[in-house]
A and B are shown apart, each in its own frame.
Chain A
Amino acid sequence: MKIILIFISPLAALIFSPLFSGIINKVKAFISGRKGQPLLQVYYNLFKLFKKGTIYSSTTSWIFRISPVLIFTFTLAATAFIPVLQIHTGALFKGDFILMLYLLGISRFFLIISAMDTGSAFEGMGASREAFFSALVEPVMFICLINIMKVAHTDSLAAALLDPMTSNSIAMFFSAIPLFILLLVENARIPFDDPSTHLELTMIHEVMILDNSGPSLGMLEYAASIKLWLFSLILALLVIPELPFGLLIKTIVLGLIMIIIAIIVGIIESIMARSQLFRIPQIIFGAGVISFLGFFIITTDILVW
């Protein structure tokens, strides 16, 4: 029985992650006064891409062909560590979040080298930036997740997220704020990157997949939306209050919180401009300071609200 539960999170990510991106797009359209694309447009796009033919660059090697599959697989596998249904299934294992982060790491590895494989100046530029910013994100992410686990007093992230944290609001604040910043950085959202343009020199993620087409591109876009879904899910589980209800209502509330996160991301994308590139490390560093402050407070117990 427990084995089946492991497949629920990836399945939910497969089904709902494009919807999540759709909501963000709808919010952006609404704020800018447009009617916008249909809510399900991301699904239509994926279907369209999977039906198209493929074009490969003559420069590329097998790395470029195999990478979309690997990136998609590893990202999807990473979602298995975060529970969608809020039931204690017993932690997968101690230190599960390390494997989750490193699965995202290896998918990033292949994303970067597949971009370098094309021999294009643009894609190299995006790859270089992605490598730099994600390296800075790693330690901040580590401290953020550690904070959550420290409060719940467990060695497994999945178990910690099932343990509502609202009782310790200060700790929640110091984990949620940096985690939200990391969500925007890691998923290439405004103010760090612009997901809706393709040919700006300031781009990070979109520019790396310029040469992908057809099903390969579909895999990469799908993987990107799954990753966004994964980060939002961690954040939603972090802020969900303790509810005296059954599993169904809990899951519905979780869904509502996810929608709220999507709306907040949409609002931020509408009202903010993309910040200058050299500011990004500073903002990541700021998130690191907040999360370390959170660690300090949690560990030393100097503030109990």
Chain B
Amino acid sequence: MNTILFFTIYSGVIAFIGLVSLFLNNKKAIQKASPPLSIFIISLLSAAYIILNFTKLKPNAILELLNWEIPFGKLQFGLDSLSGLFLIPLLILTAATSIYGWKYFGQHKQEKGHWLYFTVLVSGMVLVILSRNAIAFIFSWEIMSVSSFFLVITDKTNEKTNEKTMRAGLIYFVTAHFGAALLFIVFFILSNSSGSFEFASWHNLQLSPFKSSLIFILALIAFGTKAGFMPFHIWLPLAHPAAPSHVSALMSGIMIKMGIYGLFRILTFISPYQAWWGMLLIIIGSVSGILGVLFAIGQHDIKKLLAYHSVENIGIIMLGLGIGVSGSAYGYPLIAFFGFAGALLHVINHAMFKGLLFLGAGAIIRQTNTGELDKLGGLIKRMPVTSVLFIVGSIAIAGLPFFNGFISELLIYLSSLFGIIDSSNIPMAFLAVSTGASLALIGGLALACFTKVIGTALLGTEREQFPETVSEVPGSMLAGMILLALVCITIGMGSYFIVPILTGPISIMTGSPNFLNVTLMMNITKTLTIVLFSILVLGLIIALILKSIIKKNKPVKIVNTWDCGYSAPKASMQYTASSFAEPITDYFSIPLNISKKENVDSAFFPNNKWHFHSQANDWILTKILEPFILLIGRFFSSFKWLQNGRSGFYVLYIAIAILFLIVWKFFI
């Protein structure tokens, strides 16, 4: 069967399921279960289908659906390996989030249209990936943006959060449409140069450097508002915490990647690349990466923290993309190959572990009713499976070995290494070293951030005694998380078997596939896979030895934590998330814009309760974007007198306009 037709039908079927769900009664178990379960099964089978057929994807095949003579051309769809690469994480994540979403709304009220918005979002994203024509692309892009807006504002559990949720939704809506407006301009310039709205006609346009740079910058901003790198990340930390967790997982895992997909797609049209594009991308990548993770460390709300980590990971993808583009521009195919490989693999990886982490966070919030790190603690005893899965996700997102995050970061590191060692080009070497060093700093800070989350939320003792009902989540929710965790481990341990899928998309980006580079990547991942497995075996042996030693020695005693002689440690004496983060937030207090509120009783024997509150304020929206937008608003409000509401004036305007046109036509 034709793969393009298959996935066009898939998007239709998924949307249809959503439509049917409107007529089902949520109070009956079977009717409640059928939409998520059918989405789960269909998506999982489709994911298996595309993975099996991945090497057979044809780059230039086009499916012309609905051969309408609508203005600007037909609806055209296609599926090459670049699209396929984004489709795989989308399908897996859809499967995981849908089965998770089945029982997520256990205590909360589920909105009637929830599954409709969900499925429309999914099918919108599938269509964005399949589109081969500007009209189809913008059409699907809008479907995606609008349906996700409704999903963001779904969670109206109580009146207090309602206003906040609406504000988040509104900011998201405005940024999404700002991006879409620029997208129109990008497509207009491209179609103007080629005379057609079809993507196929946009290759090899031989654009002037100015024109291609203009397209690049506009596309960067247009897709950047969706991808959410700095300074266009403003909607992410607002929208993700507001949405239900499995929707956050879907949005953060794959919807923001549609921006990355668009950027990749546009880059295929405007080669050869300029050297400064790569530099710009690397600067954006390192700023988003470092500031993203720093802001994440400053957060105490688990979902907001994860939202900032999306900014960080988009930064890592931009670093890979940037060094790939620089490698292309300076004429080093090896650097370009590994840079693009790292960026593309990180797209899949981030979708998997970020999805897993959001689902884990959602499980915690669902059971405890709070996402405040400083109110949690000791959950590993009450929710053992969720905790293990959350730790898996954390190790993966910190880019540590044995899980998938390490593989994609390693590829970007290798690209930077080749840029430093093998190229004699000095600017290339400096770009490469800043990529590598930023990645190292991001990795170190991400480790600090996730040890903070695990240490305060999952480990230690409960800071506030939870009610008895706080226990493990239902099996269907765990199933969604386990699916994602398995993918994380598979990519991390079996990278040798996974990386071949990257060669197709890279050859779309860089032109001819270089077999030497492919062999090099295969060799490295092969060694890596062997080394990682041997280390695990070594670890197992050491663990067995230690276990037998402990058993042979005197019996194991269980006592209180040693608190330097104090024998009655309390839960409140534990290190909190804010105190754990304090050295870092203090050191970086200027970029983080930390505000502190304390109410200290400074008497020797203080009677009153002390209050301390610290918060990292995102200054990019409040200090830069809002004043800028207000400035524009003020400028245009100076034309308000034109709109005075008297119809006589409007007739006068029309007359003036006609007069002007006549003068312009006949006298100039």
Residues of A bordering B, CB below 8 Å: 50-61, 63, 66, 68-70, 72-74, 76-77, 92-95, 98-99, 101-103, 105-106, 108-109, 112-113, 115-125, 127-129, 131-132, 134-139, 141-143, 146, 149-150, 153-155, 199, 210-211, 214-216, 219, 281, 295, 299-300
Comparing B346-354, B443-451, B591-599, the segment that makes contact with chain A is: B443-451
Q: Are B395 and A120 in contact (CB under 8 A)?
A: no
A61 smallest CB distance to B (angstroms): 5
Binary A-proximity of B34-65 (CB < 8 A = 1, otherwise 0): 00000000000000000000000000000000
**Cross-chain contact A146 with B562 (CB below 8 angstroms):** no
Q: Can you add 11 more A-B contacts, CB < 8 Å, to A106-B402, A121-B574?
A: A61-B459, A69-B542, A95-B524, A102-B401, A105-B398, A112-B455, A117-B455, A128-B581, A131-B580, A138-B440, A149-B417
B276 within 8 A of A: no
Given contacts A51-B553, A94-B414, A121-B573, contact A300 B402 (CB under 8 A): no
- By a CB distance below 8 angstroms, the chain A residues around B422 are 155
A66 proximity list for chain B (CB < 8 A)? 543
B369 vs chain A, min Cβ distance (A): 22
Expressed in whole angstroms, the minimum distance between the Cβ of A114 and any Cβ of chain B is: 9
Residue of B with least CB distance to A74: B535
Q: Is B648 an interface residue (CB 8 A)?
A: no
Contact of B413 among A95, A118, A216 (CB under 8 A): A95
Complex Cα distance A124/B401, Å?
Answer: 24
B553 touches A54 (CB 8 A): yes
13 inter-chain pairs at a CB distance below 8 angstroms, sorted by A residue, are A56-B557, A56-B559, A69-B542, A95-B524, A112-B455, A117-B459, A119-B459, A121-B573, A121-B575, A124-B574, A146-B417, A155-B418, A199-B564
Scan B414-443; emit 1 where CB is below 8 A from any A CB, else 0.
100110111000100110010011101101
Residues on the B chain within 8 Å of A211, using CB: 561-562
Residues on B with C-beta less than 8 A from A105 are 398, 400, 443-444, 447
Closest-by-CB residue of A relative to B410 is A98
Closest beta carbon of chain B to A207's beta carbon, Å: 10
Please pick, from A57, A109, A132, A136, the residue contacting B561 in the complex, using a CB distance under 8 A.
Answer: A57
Q: Is the CB of A112 within 8 A of B451?
A: yes
- For residue A224, give the distance in angstroms from its CB to the closest CB of chain B: 16
- Complex contacts, A53 vs chain B, CB 8 Å: 553-557
Bound-state Cα–Cα, A99 to B580, Å: 27
Within 8 Å CB of A215, what residues of B?
546, 549-550, 553
Chain B residues, Cβ within 8 Å of A92: 527, 531
Question: Which secondary structure characterizes the binding site on chain B?
Answer: helix
Contacts of A135 in B (CB 8 A): 441, 444-445, 447-448, 584
Across the interface, do A54 and B550 meet the contact criterion of CB distance under 8 Å? yes
Tell me whether B558 is interfacial, beta carbon within 8 Å.
yes
Q: State whether A95 and B417 are in contact (beta carbons under 8 Å apart), knowing that A53-B554, A53-B555 are contacts in the complex.
A: yes
- Say yes or no: B582 contacts A128, CB within 8 Å: yes
B395 surroundings in chain A (CB, below 8 A): 106, 109
Q: Are B420 and A146 in contact, with the CB atoms below 8 A? A: yes
How many whole Å from B558's CB to the nearest CB in chain A? 5
Query: Please, how many angstroms separate the alpha-carbon atoms of A141 and B440 in the complex?
Result: 9
B98 at the interface (CB under 8 A from A): no
For residue A101, which residues in chain B have a CB less than 8 angstroms away from its CB?
440
Nearest B residue to A141, CB-CB: B440
Q: A51–B552 Cα gap in the complex (Å)?
A: 9
CB distance from B67 to the nearest CB of A (A): 51
Q: Which residues of A contact B538 (CB under 8 A)?
A: 73, 76-77
- Chain B 370-416 interface residues, beta-carbon cutoff 8 Å to A: 377-378, 380-381, 391, 395, 398-402, 406, 410, 413-414
User: Which chain B positions have C-beta within 8 A of A76?
Assistant: 538
User: With a CB–CB cut-off of 8 A, which chain B residues contact A59?
Assistant: 378, 460-461, 560-561
Contacting residues of chain B (501-522) with chain A, CB-CB under 8 angstroms: 520
Q: How far is the CA of A112 from the CA of B553 in the complex (A)?
A: 27
Q: Are B399 and A120 in contact (CB under 8 A)?
A: no
Contact at B438–A139, with CB atoms within 8 Å? yes
Most buried by B among A60, A102, A281: A102
- Contacting residues, chain B, for A138 (C-beta < 8 A): 440-441, 443-444
B564 touches A102 (CB 8 A): no
Partner of A58, one of B391, B400, B559, B579: B559
Q: Identify B569's interface contact among A54, A119, A155, CB under 8 A.
A: A119
Known: A53-B557, A98-B413, A132-B448. A113 touches B454 (CB 8 A): yes
Q: How far is the CA of A61 from the CA of B580 in the complex (A)?
A: 20
Chain B residue nearest to A301 (CB atoms) is: B426
When chains A and B are docked, how far (Å) is the Cα of A247 from the Cα of B539? 31
Within 8 Å of chain A (Cβ to Cβ): is B82? no
Partner of A124, one of B421, B571, B580: B580
Judged by a CB distance under 8 angstroms, whether B641 is at the interface is no
Asked if residues A73 and B535 are in contact (CB atoms below 8 Å), the reply is: yes
B574 touches A119 (CB 8 A): yes
Please name all residues of chain A whose beta carbon is closer than 8 Å to the beta carbon of B575 when the two chains form the complex: 116, 121, 123-125, 127-128
Q: If A128-B575, A139-B440 touch, does A58 touch B550 (CB 8 Å cutoff)?
A: no
Q: Are A150 and B421 in contact (CB under 8 A)?
A: yes
A52 near B440: Cβ-Cβ < 8 Å:
no
Q: Given A73-B538, A113-B454, A299-B429, are A219 and B546 also a contact pair (CB < 8 Å)?
A: yes
3 pairs of A and B residues whose beta carbons are closest in the complex: A124-B575, A116-B455, A53-B554
Please state if B459 and A132 are interface contacts (CB–CB under 8 Å). no
Chain A residues with Cβ under 8 A from B398's Cβ?
105, 109
Q: Are B556 and A56 in contact (CB under 8 A)?
A: yes
Q: State how many angstroms separate the Cβ of B422 from the closest Cβ of chain A.
A: 7
- A77 to B395 alpha-carbon distance, docked (Å): 18
Measured between beta carbons, the chain A residues less than 8 angstroms from B664 are none
CB distance from B399 to the nearest CB of A (A): 7
Say whether B106 faces chain A, with CB atoms less than 8 Å apart.
Answer: no
Identify which of residues 324-364 in chain B touch chain A, using a CB-to-CB cut-off of 8 Å: none
User: Which residues of A sit under 8 angstroms from B441, Cβ to Cβ?
Assistant: 135-136, 138-139
Nearest chain-B residue to A72 (Cβ)? B542
